[in-house]
Structure 1
Amino acid sequence: MSGFLFAVPPLVGHINPTVGVAARLAARGYRVAWACPDPGLVRRLAGARAVVYPCAGIAGVERPPGLRGPEALKFLWERYLVPLADAMAPGVRAAVEEYRPDVVVADQQAFAGALVAERLGLRWATSATTSAEFTDVYEGMPKVAAWLGARLDELRGRIGDPAGGADPRFSPHLVLAFSTPELVGSTARTGEHIHYVGPSIADRPAAADFPWAWLDPGRSKVLVTLGTANADAGGRFLAECVTAVRERADRVQGVLVDPGGTLAERGDDKDVLILPSVPQLPLLERVDAVICHAGHNTVCEALWHGVPLVVAPIRDDQPVVAAQVVDAGAGLRVRFGRVTSARLGEALDTLLNDPAHRTAAARIRTAFRTAGGATAAASHLAGLAAGEA
């Protein structure tokens, strides 16, 4: 049976979408494996039996919390994405040579997967876990686009096929975009090989210790999260969120995710629950609004449940995703670095009291669920392995 090798960075938001796709492929009898610098993380998300080939990674990259805009993008590429590709490449090649997949599924930010596959003449697909690259994000910034292209050309010279010409962010064979045009917008990149499959939602290990009985059925619930990679930047923002929720405690409860332990927890608090992690998917079935950093996974999982958002983008693709949420009518945007509890409360009140945003979120939920998700992605990959692309 055909085999697939998922090349992924050691980031939860980039591994999670592949988990559901891999499960669907395995259920159909296909061989599935991963190449990742953190095999333990893959097995935690995909299951202890997941076949994972280790790759070298990079460590100790600490980004200044205040870095924004083009400087943040440059830092991301120079200090993380390009070094990660160089580090992963030998391990990805070794995995390909040992596992012998028919298709390499390369995360859009794990350039090594695409370039190694290109060098070895293998068919490869792009796993696009953020939709930021599917819009004209660099329109009006030709120097930035040229700079990024030069970095990719240099990478190709080191680990890819020097004669190749494909952008490693966009496979010429198959691109799986885990979103839909209803969120990305009317200018979304299109092509016969680009498929908007919507979010890949898969079961995750249960969190039996979450205090479900704490949730008050008589009050609206709001989830506040900044994802898994922003613990260093969120102390002030989370504190403002706590204040905004407490000022509405007669009608609102808040669940705040604080992995960095920046806030003091109160065990008897009936208004704000502060935890280092939460079972996000089952919790989203019970909340009425989400306040977040506009991370693509969090946004898509909220909208999968029809929950509107207050988005406060910090860096990277988050401003683009935040703009998509606002343009789609499914949420409101605030400034991460300057927002006050008063402004957060005002935005939260609007989401909870004005049905327009919830109606827009419900429209995107319908589009997401119609797109097919992990099942559709698995079918496209199976077709590529069979030579249909």
Structure 2
Amino acid sequence: MNPAVGTAAALAGRGHDIAWAGPADLVRRMAGPDAHPGVRAAIEEFGPDVVIADQQTVAGGLIAESLGLTWVTSATTSAELVDPLAGMPKVAAWLDGLLDALRGRIAGGRGTADPRMSPHGVLVYTTRALLGPIELPDHVWLVGPSLTGRPAASDFPWQWLEGAEHVVLLVSLGTADADASAPFLNAAVQGLSGKADVRAVAVDTAGRVTGTASNILLRPHVPQLSLLSRVDAVVCHAGHNTVCEALWHGVPPVVAPIRDDQPIVAGQVTDAGAGVRLRFGRADARRIADAVDTVLDEASGHREAARAVGRSFRAAGGSRAAADRLESLLPHVAPGRHGRNRVGADPAGRSGHHPKPA
């Protein structure tokens, strides 16, 4: 949801009204307490000029197309652009069958477009510097990461990072794989513990780390965007958001993909020369520590490659470029001009304000 929050904030800053749909607890935490879940009812009530539907939550695209509305895909990972099921035709056919059945249940069978790739436009929050030279149709827009302030706890001990010269690391494996990531997280903490020149912040959302040292700070949550401006390297699971946020700051990642799109994103990182990849199941303390040493070594070229990707991200425009693309679909509003046109972002219920930056 994070990239869409940035895009919504940019649109709201230009005078557009934004509505949200999705899991109630998440949407209300990010977009405010007045947001109401329920995709069809929300779209019909709000009457958006454009629906922005997350690529992984297909109801938005299915409903928008069935109602004859303009809709745009928000691709929060670039994995679908490389056709990840090309080598598995039976799996692809099975998934197509599921989507067709869902179209029948919630959209009356109306529509023919793939709800993951709108023919009106696809916002992809990356650039060629990371994605690589794959062929893309003209309606796929590489806008770069869309970053904005987000809710965060105010009790992070920033003073812990201050003091003598040291390398600062962030170790984060996301929240969805907390149980599976426990052995890797413990190995990372073990490999980095006791290093006099290292201070590492490890995100332990489920309290799975069993031992630590004075140079390791364990936190259940961290203000990641703020922290990334202070770190020298990141150890992560190759989640698209974490990778792009790290590279935006010119920070090289050590990536250990677990599942889903993560192996594809990890491959993009190594192809760009911006980081080191580990096998998640075989990454012990020594391998993790060695990988961190490698990405930090200027001679390896990883840090400069990460900075180059970051420069391409900032040049792409991010949320501003995404807002321009969306406004281009409104014939009565020139891109970048203020207006009161209503633009629904995966909408649901009326939420007449955009997410406030933390």
Map 1:45-194 onto structure 2 (within 5 A): 45-46=30-31, 48=32, 51-54=34-37, 91-160=38-107, 162-187=109-134, 189-194=135-140
Residue 43 of structure 1 corresponds to which residue in structure 2?
Answer: 28
Residue 258 of structure 2 corresponds to which residue in structure 1?
Answer: 314
Name structure 2 gaps, 5 residues minimum. Answer: 336-358
More helix by share: 1
Number of aligned residue pairs? 332
Residue 146 of structure 2 corresponds to which residue in structure 1?
Answer: 200
Distance 2:44 2:223 in 1: 37
Residue 356 of structure 2 corresponds to which residue in structure 1?
Answer: none
Name structure 1 gaps, 5 residues minimum. Answer: 1-14, 55-90
1:292 aligns with 2:223: no
- What secondary structure, in the 3-state scheme, does the structure 2 residue paired with 1:151 have? helix
Residue 88 of structure 1 corresponds to which residue in structure 2?
Answer: none
Distance 2:199 2:312 in 1: 29
Distance 2:63 2:115 in 1: 10
1:214 aligns with 2:160: yes
Residue 347 of structure 2 corresponds to which residue in structure 1?
Answer: none
CA contact (8 A) 1:214 1:270 kept: no
Per the normalisation by structure 1, the TM-score is 0.82
Q: Which amino acid aligns with 1:242?
A: V
Q: How far off its partner does 1:19 sit?
A: 1.0
Greater RCO between the two (CA within 8 Å, min separation 6)? 2
Residue 276 of structure 1 corresponds to which residue in structure 2?
Answer: 220
Q: How far off its partner does 1:165 sit?
A: 1.8
Per the normalisation by structure 2, the TM-score is 0.88
Q: How far off its partner does 1:206 sit?
A: 4.7
Residue 8 of structure 1 corresponds to which residue in structure 2?
Answer: none
Question: Percent of counterpart pairs with the same letter?
Answer: 56
Q: How far off its partner does 1:162 sit?
A: 2.8
Q: Which runs of 4+ in 1 moved over 6 A?
A: none
CA contact (8 A) 2:152 2:222 kept: no
Q: How far off its partner does 1:146 sit?
A: 2.1
- What secondary structure, in the 3-state scheme, does the structure 2 residue paired with 1:259 have? coil
For the aligned residue pairs, the C-alpha RMSD in angstroms reads 1.8
Q: How far off its partner does 1:207 sit?
A: 3.3
Q: Deviations over 1:80-123 (max 9, x none)?
A: xxxxxxxxxxx211101111111111000111000001111111
Q: Higher mean Cα deviation, 229-238 or 171-180?
A: 229-238
CA contact (8 A) 1:265 1:274 kept: no
Q: How far off its partner does 1:149 sit?
A: 1.8
Q: Higher mean Cα deviation, 147-156 or 343-352?
A: 147-156
Q: How far off its partner does 1:219 sit?
A: 0.8
